[in-house]
Structure 1
Amino acid sequence: MKKLGLLPRILIAIALGIAIGTISPTWLVEVFATFNSLFGNFLGFAIPLIIIGFIAPGIGTMGKGAGKLLGLTTFIAYSSTVLAGLLAFFAAKGLYPTILANQTSQAFENPEEALAKALFTVDMPPVMGVMTALLISFTLGLGMASLKGDRLLNVMNEFRDIVEKVIEKIIIPLLPLHIFGIFANMTYGGQVGAIMSVFAKVFIMIIALHILYLMIQYTIAGSARKQNPFNMIKNMFPAYFTALGTQSSASTIPVTLEQTKKMGVREKIADFSVPLLATIHLSGSTITIVSCAMAVMVIQGETATLGTILPFILMLGVTMIAAPGVPGGAVMAALGLLESMLGFNSTMVSLMIALYLAQDSFGTACNVTGDGAITALTDKLMKKDKKPTKQTQQQAS
């Protein structure tokens, strides 16, 4: 199983969960439910650590590299991420009442009561609340950015490495088993038909939004550079398909860099912007997270408003800074916000993880491909910013 990518393992886990949940006796489903309870509690314990481990060193590192190119690239990347989230919100708001009609929690009465219960639980309280972790992260990050020394930043970078190891070696490998247990339990409770119907419809909408947003990004970049946006997108196909396979923006950097330079972007701009954007630009992941979160809220019979989702999107763009280069890193970084800002309970978090990871590779591919458009636009804006010399003014006249 380790030789398979995360996506195949997730799909196998879903299929096996449905198959075994159909025929399993109650005691076996309760065993799976016990594992899910333990894993969910550990995840709750880890969320504040993940927040501090990602956000604090991310902000600190960004501040250390202050400069015009950094500021411009970061501003465009953050704006792109927020706009992607808003696109997902309005698309979901317009389409979900139709495509997810009659698929709220009322459609399968009291889902919590239908699920098998864990045989036992182990309390794993987090060391602090999510909002406390966020405030500590911002305080430490901004403080490290303003300090001349790097000692605390080095400590936080090592702490981030530890958190990444926890995600890479414990959480991600166990997620397929967790998702297997979720679907076995939902099948046992008679809910899987409604959930799978939601999965299929949301999946199609998300892929369509990825394509639409890439068209928007390259239309803007192509117009600014007077290049054909379709040729620019075609040029980035190798990066897109590499990201589909690796499910990691960081692992795709060499290919993204090469293809971006082929679009005519200056080498020094590409060398700086592409690795940075692999860390801070997550428009595809944001589309996926917002779409999946709203779908889970619909399933639970809740309604999402712009007043609820907009602050979530604004915080999401910051929280996912320096999300690890491992598959599923973005949703791991977002779990704290889902709980604190959208009120997700453990069942909703489990559904969210399953929904997100089933198409994580497509979100990563959208992120990576969009990096090329932002780099090209940044290159053009940096050229515009240069004041013409007397020689160039005389040549122009």
Structure 2
Amino acid sequence: MRKLGLLPKILLAIILGIVIGSFSPEWLVKVFATFSGLFGNFLGFAIPLIIIGFIAPGIGELGKGAGRLLGLTTGVAYISTIVAGLLAFFVATLLFPHILEVGGLVNEYANPEEALLAPYFTVDMPPVVGVMTALLLAFTFGLGAAVIKGDSLQKVMVDLRAIVEKLIGSVIIPLLPYHILSVFTNLTYGGQVKMILSVFAKVFVIIIALHVLYLIVQFLVAGQMGRKNPFTLLKNMLPAYFTAIGTQSSAATIPVTLRQTKLNGVNGKVADFVIPLCATIHLSGSTITLVSCSMAVMMLNGMSTSFAMMFPFILMLGITMIAAPGVPGGAVMAALGLLESMLGFNTTLTSLMIALYIAQDSFGTACNVTGDGAIAVIADSLSPKSKA
């Protein structure tokens, strides 16, 4: 099991959960429900720490560097992320009502939670602060450290990030497959899993199509601004795309992304700055996935997915993506606070969201890093240094 990547573990957990939930007695399912409840509560405790631990030092670090190029790249990356989220929203609004059984769980159960077995016991693990308080603290400390150039405060925040990274990498991610297994065992026992798996398959296809479409749009814009053939630019970035599918990490793919970006004729100094930065702040593929998956889960549960609700979520998601840790599934971990505070997700919905997201996480990462190449071309075309 240790040699398997996160995606195979999640897929194996889903399969085992369906098998176990199909024939297990009630007492055994309640054991899984107890583990799932404990892990879900711990995750709720960790969410504010994740938000503060990643957003605060991330914003603080953005305050240092190459001045205009930093602001330019950050602005372009943020706009790209927001446009990606809006594309996902409009496509989901247009297609999902026709391919998903909207309100399917609510139609079958007055309260979807009633079909799930309750755990034997629960342990309250209240978070230190609320999600919105954590976001405000992260913005305040991050911006404050950047403005006053507070090296001591920045070092503390970087150390906090290292602790949270260790928490995610050593505790949350290893236990996540068992949490997913427990959730799907309970869902199968309650008779809900067939509908949910059909959602997985349909949404997966649409998300991959959106990734491809958005990459074409990005490189059409980059080609126009850089006066280069957009399809040649995109073709040159394919090694980075396929490397990211294997690594599931934007950071781990930086060497390949950087090499292919320079092959596209981007100024070396610009590429050396933009690509590592975008590996942290430009997650358009992950945003497409998060918006699509969240809307699918919400529609399945009969929840509102209006523009008035989703647009603020997308705007905040563009900022929160700065917090995404460099581990598989990091983007959805960073977004859990927004899912709970802005969209009203509970523990069960969060678990479905994590499973649905991680099932195609590698493709989202591949879209992210390939799009970084387009951002680099755009930044290069706008940079005074490249014109000198």
TM-score normalised by length of structure 2: 0.97
1:82 and 2:82 are equivalent in the alignment: yes
User: Once the two structures are superposed, what CA deviation does each residue of 1:322-368 show, in whole Å capped at 9, x if it has no partner?
Assistant: 42110111111100011111111111111111111111111111000
Q: Deviations over 1:184-208 (max 9, x none)?
A: 1111000011000111111111000
Deviating beyond 4 angstroms after TM superposition, the runs of 4 or more aligned structure 1 residues are 383-387
Contact between 1:249 and 1:367, CA under 8 Å: does it hold in 2?
yes
Q: How big is each residue's C-alpha offset from its partner over 1:132-170, in whole Å with a ceiling of 9 and x where there is no partner?
A: 101111111111001133011001000001001100111
Q: Helix, strand or coil: the match of 1:301? A: coil
TM superposition shift of 1:101 = 3.0
Counterpart amino acid of residue 273 in structure 1: V
For residues 88-138 of structure 1, give each alpha carbon's deviation from its aligned partner in whole angstroms, at most 9, with x where no partner exists.
000000001101135522343232111111111111000010011011111
Structure 1 residues 151-166: aligned runs within 5 Å: 151-166=152-167
1:62 aligns with 2:62: yes
Q: State the shift of 1:30 in Å.
A: 0.6
- C-alpha contact (below 8 Å) 1:182/1:350 kept by paired residues: yes
Q: Quick one: distance in 1 between partners of 2:305 and 2:96?
A: 11
Counterpart of 2:383 in 1: which secondary structure?
helix
**How many residue pairs get matched?**
387
Structure 2 partner of 1:121? 122
Matches within 5 A, 1:153-192: 153-192=154-193
Moved more, 38-47 or 109-118: 109-118
Distance 1:263 1:156 in 2: 36
- Give secondary structure in 2 for the equivalent of 1:320: helix
Shift, 1:14, TM fit = 0.7
Give 3-state SS (helix, strand or coil) of 1:124's partner: coil
The yes-or-no answer on 1:356 pairing with 2:357 is: yes
Q: Give 3-state SS (helix, strand or coil) of 1:12's partner.
A: helix
Among all aligned residue pairs of Structure 1 and Structure 2, give the percentage whose two residues are the same amino acid. 69
Query: d(CA) in 2 for partners of 1:385 and 1:39?
Result: 50
Q: Which amino acid aligns with 1:61?
A: E
Partner of 1:232: 233
What is the CA–CA distance in structure 2 between the aligned matches of 1:143 and 1:43, rounded to whole Å?
28
Matched, 1:25 2:21: no
Which one-letter code corresponds to 1:365 in the other structure? Answer: A
Q: For residues 188-240 of structure 1, what are the alpha-carbon distances to aligned partners after superposition, in whole Å with 9 as ceiling and x for unaligned?
A: 00001100011111111100000000000001111222222222111111111
Q: Whole-Å Cα distance in 1 between the matches of residues 323 and 194 of structure 2?
A: 37
Q: Match of 1:67, as an amino acid?
A: G
Whole-angstrom CA distance in 1 between matches of 2:237 and 2:323: 23
- Cα distance in 1 for residues equivalent to 2:78 and 2:378: 14
Instruction: Report the secondary structure of 2:128's partner residue.
Output: coil
The 3-state SS of whatever aligns with 2:228 is coil
Opposite residue 100 of structure 1, the aligned amino acid is L
TM-score by length of 1: 0.95
Matched-pair contact (CA < 8 Å) for 2:102–2:301: no
* CA offsets 1:281-334 (integer angstroms, 9 cap, x no match): 000000000001101111111121111111111111111204211011111110
Tell whether the 8 Å contact from 1:108 to 1:191 is kept in structure 2 after alignment.
Answer: no
Q: Structure 2: give runs of 5+ residues left out of the alignment.
A: none
Aligned residue identity for 1:221: A
Letter in 2 for 1:146: V
Distance 1:385 1:262, change over 3 A: closer
Aligned residue in 2 for 1:3: 3
Quote the offset at 1:2 in angstroms. 1.4
Say whether the 8 Å CA contact 2:85–2:291 is kept in structure 1. yes
CA RMSD in angstroms comes to 1.3
Q: Which residue of 2 aligns with 1:268?
A: 269
Structure 1: give runs of 5+ residues left out of the alignment: 388-397
* Conserved? CA contact 1:243–1:368, under 8 Å: yes
Does the 8 Å CA contact 2:226/2:381 hold for their aligned counterparts?
A: yes
Q: Quick check: 1:96–1:295 contact (8 Å CA) kept in 2?
A: yes
**Which one-letter code corresponds to 2:28 in the other structure?**
L
On the 8 A contact 1:111/1:189 being kept in 2, the answer is: no
1:148 aligns with 2:149: yes
Question: 2: distance between equivalents of 1:344 and 1:291?
Answer: 15
Letter in 1 for 2:26: T
1:384/1:56 CA distance change after superposition, 3 Å: closer
CA separation in 2, counterparts of 1:70 and 1:254?
20
- Aligned equivalents of 2:130 and 2:102: distance in 1? 35
Q: Please say if 1:50 is aligned against 2:50.
A: yes
Higher-Rg structure is 1
Deviations 1:240-264 (CA, angstroms, capped at 9, x unpaired): 1111111100000000000111011
Query: 2-side partners of 1:251 and 1:278: how far apart?
Result: 9
Q: What is the CA–CA distance in structure 1 between the aligned matches of 2:385 and 2:220, rounded to whole Å?
A: 19
